[in-house]
Chain A
Amino acid sequence: MKIKKILIANRGEIAIRIMKTARLMKISTVAIKTALEPNAMYLSFADEIFDNSEDVSEIPVFLDIEKLIAIALNTGADAVHPGYGFLAENAYFADKCIDNKIIFIGPSPDAIYKMGNKTIARKLAMKNGIPMAMGSEGNISNEEEAVAIASKIGYPVIVKAASGGGGRGMRIIRKAEEMERMFIIASKEAEKAFNDPSVFIEKYIENPKHIEFQILGDTHGNVIHLGERECSIQRKHQKLLEEAPSCALDEKLREVMGKMAVQIAKEVNYHSAGTVEFLLDSDKNFYFMEMNTRIQVEHPVTEIITGIDLIEQQILIANGEKLKYRQEDIKLKGWAIECRINAEDVQSGFAPAPGKIENLSMPSDPYVRIDTGIQSGSVIVANFDSMIAKLIVKGKDRRDAIKNCKMALDKVWIRGTKTTLPFFRLLVRNDKFQNGTFTTAFIENDLDKYYFNSEYEEILAAWLATKLFVEENLKEDSINVDFENGKEMSPWLMNKRVNQF
């Protein structure tokens, strides 16, 4: 093994995820301690900690290319794993690593660049005959052109930032009279968010399913796929629940789409783990959307149904080794579902709810896997994402996985902040989710509330309010009640949330 020490250029659960595999491979790891999270859980998984907590600059260290390179050189790390987010899809960072003789655990800068630029990616897909939603050939230069192209394609259309991704920088336009204004807004937004005002237009596929294929490629030209994941449960293009495989695909369609995914990966000499995203319409037509050149948040569901450790594969590939799997070796077994438990308030439209996690306990049943970077006492800081944990559940089939998921959800215990748990409790009971006919419009169109509570939960809450009233206003009565129940009573000094940001 050339790789002996990996610098983890990330935090939270993915940092831990990478370090766990590195440990199994007997590779040592370096984690970075920051001022924002000096006591973060991920630090305890590292063999070595680089203390950067004195650094109070505005840019997080995980986005600071020069600094990361310096840390890698300083600690003698011979490889860097970027995780997801931050610099994971930054071609310049990958290039800088190579310049400094540090192995970047990910694809080549060229592949990152080509797939990161949606216009180039579209051209490459077109060249390979991969189906795509009708759209502009390249970037749109002005609003007149936008109006002309949109009317040729037919409304609704979607305007996307060429350098965007992860659901950011997109706008759906349904009427011609909105086009001019929305084009200008989209272009300005793209410039602000991605430093690149270029946008392009595509036909908007109504109510599709989001299907993505996991790819593995080595540096010897071998590329395979590990089946699909369905990520249709999303809100404002942010995924909330993912599963593998998808009930919308049969063996034949899986083979066709998988081949296309492999083909586009080969076009850019892709190596490492990557994801090719498609939209699938109700007539089972599929359209190439984009390729993500990183490990993804939802990678565990693929690991569960294939039995392959994707981080291990990334490291082996980065080490120059040949893939030991051929396509025919990949067998999908069982079903896996991932729920993203985020610090969000589902009663206020999924608004972020940062705060201190007072206590947390997770189920430990054999059908559950928990990927988390949060423990009791951790603080969900507003500067980073709102993820608390990924609850990953397996079953022998989809029905079994949903059943297990339902049980596991009731065993998760998180105090200190509101979470997306009540949303998942609703989802696992929803007919449309159970029968698999949901699309990316599900949350917007098919739900009238975003949380589940049993009728007794509200009664119990009402009882509690009444109890408080009795204690505060009818003192003698409360003494009476107290006496009856003696030691069960608690003083009404509940822990107030300490950290309000």
Chain B
Amino acid sequence: MLNDKLGIKKLYALSSEKRKFSFSLPLKHKIKIGKRNYEIKLKTDEKYGTYILWKNRKYPVEVVRSRQNKYEILFNDISYTFSVETPFSLQRMKVLSSSKGKTEQEFVKAPMPGKIIDVLVREGSNVLRGEPVVILEAMKMQNEIQSPVNGKVVKVAAKANNNVMKDDLLVEIKVD
């Protein structure tokens, strides 16, 4: 098998909150809790769409998007973003992050389509986590789009009075 040739025995799913889940290959359709294995069934039907059946309960699932090794998954109404890494790529990531230090960029994107009412930061502004950066109007409600991190604004893409689509870049922040 290919994974034997490559010598890959494990894969890691890293969540956006830096939690790591490891799965051995070949990937089993089971998850172990305590001593028992619980089977995961993935199904699609007319009535429910695609879902996972686990421990006698159905969970709706949807792949919102995938790009290279990154996957956004909607699972029971909650979005998760994972990057799936092999032991090699994980090792490389560790080396890279330790040599370069933290130079993470945070891209603040429009959570929904709407109109920019106000841009509250400028290039070079320092922002704190939770600080509003843009006011976006959608469905007649004004929404404060907040910075998810502490950092410095390196790019402002949002312009007042412009319409934006979902996931359009608003502000780019260099994480402290």
**Interface-facing stretch out of A274-282, A289-297, A413-421:** A413-421
B-side contacts of A451, CB under 8 Å: 77-78
With the chains together, A485 CA to B23 CA distance in Å? 18
Question: Is A359 within 8 A of B13, CB to CB?
Answer: no
Specify which of B25, B76, B113, B146 is in contact with A474 (CB 8 Å cutoff): B25
Partner of A358, one of B26, B49, B80, B112: B49
Q: Are the CB atoms of B73 and A359 closer together than 8 Å?
A: no
- List B residues 126-153 near A (Cβ within 8 Å): 138-139, 141, 143-144, 146
> Contacts A347-B78, A469-B84 known; A459 to B62 CB distance under 8 Å?
no
Cβ proximity bits A456-479 to B, threshold 8 Å, 1 near / 0 not: 111111111111111011111100
For chain B, what secondary structure do more than half of its interface residues adopt (helix, strand, loop), or is it mixed?
strand
Q: Is the CB of A466 within 8 A of B144?
A: no
Q: 8 Å CB contacts to B: which residues of A371-422?
A: 382, 385-386, 410, 413-415, 418-419, 421-422
Contacts of B76 in A (CB 8 A): 422, 453, 457
Q: B92 to nearest A CB, angstroms?
A: 16
Given A352-B138, A352-B141, A467-B27, A477 and B84 touching (CB < 8 A)? no
- Given A345-B111, A477-B27, residue A460 in contact with residue B54 (CB < 8 A): yes
* Residue in A closest to B54 when the chains form the complex, CB atoms: A460
Say whether A476 contacts B49, CB under 8 Å.
no
CA–CA, A421 to B77, complex, Å? 7
Q: Are A457 and B78 in contact (CB under 8 A)?
A: yes
Residues of chain B contacted by A458 (CB below 8 angstroms): 15, 19, 21, 75, 80
A345→B112 contact, CB < 8 A: yes
CB-CB contacts below 8 Å: A444-501 with B = 451, 453, 456-470, 472-477, 480-481, 484-485, 488-490, 492, 494-495, 500-501
B153 CB to nearest A CB, Å: 20
Contact with B along A236-270 (1 / 0, CB 8 A): 00000000000000000000000000000000000
What is the distance, in angstroms, from B113's C-beta to the closest C-beta of chain A? 6
Question: Across the interface, do B139 and A352 meet the contact criterion of CB distance under 8 Å?
Answer: yes
Q: Give complex CA distance A240, B43 in Å.
A: 33
Task: Across the interface, name the chain A residue whose C-beta is closest to B63.
Answer: A494
Interface status of B44 (Cβ within 8 A of chain A): yes
Instruction: Please determine whether B79 and A347 come into contact, CB atoms closer than 8 angstroms.
Output: yes
Decide if B27 touches A490 in the complex (CB within 8 Å).
no
Q: A464–B84 Cα gap in the complex (Å)?
A: 10
Q: How far is the CA of A386 from the CA of B75 in the complex (A)?
A: 21
B1 touching A476, Cβ below 8 Å: yes
Interface residues of A in 336-350 (CB under 8 A from B): 345, 347-349
Q: Which of B13, B26, B112 contacts A480 (CB 8 A)?
A: B26
B35 at the interface (CB under 8 A from A): no
Residue of A nearest to B74 (CB): A418
Whether A465 pairs with B73 at a CB distance below 8 angstroms is: yes
Report the separation of the CA atoms of residues A352 and B52 in the bound assembly, to the nearest whole angstrom. Answer: 26
Q: Are A461 and B111 in contact (CB under 8 A)?
A: no
The residue that B49 contacts in the complex, of A349, A472, A473, A495, with Cβ under 8 A, is A495
Tell me the complex Cα distance, A472–B58, Å.
Answer: 25
- Which residue in B2, B11, B143 is a CB contact (below 8 Å) of A466? B11
- Smallest CB separation, A465 vs chain B (Å): 4
Given contacts A358-B49, A488-B43, A494-B62, contact A464 B27 (CB under 8 A): no
B42 at the interface (CB under 8 A from A): yes
Q: Of residues A414, A418, A459, which shows the largest number of chain B Cβ atoms within 10 Å of its Cβ?
A: A459
Interface residues of B in 71-105 (CB under 8 A from A): 71, 73-80, 82, 84
Given A459-B31, A481-B27, A494-B50, A468-B40 contact (CB < 8 Å):
no
16 pairs across A/B with beta carbons < 8 Å?
A347-B78, A347-B79, A349-B144, A351-B143, A352-B141, A382-B139, A413-B58, A457-B75, A458-B19, A463-B21, A466-B11, A466-B84, A476-B3, A477-B26, A494-B63, A500-B113
- Which chain B residues have a beta carbon within 8 Å of chain A's beta carbons? 1-3, 6, 8, 11, 13, 15, 19, 21, 23, 25-27, 29, 31, 33, 40-44, 47-50, 52, 54, 57-63, 66, 69, 71, 73-80, 82, 84, 111-113, 138-139, 141, 143-144, 146, 165-166
A residues neighboring B (CB under 8 Å): 345, 347-349, 351-354, 358-359, 361, 382, 385-386, 410, 413-415, 418-419, 421-422, 451, 453, 456-470, 472-477, 480-481, 484-485, 488-490, 492, 494-495, 500-501
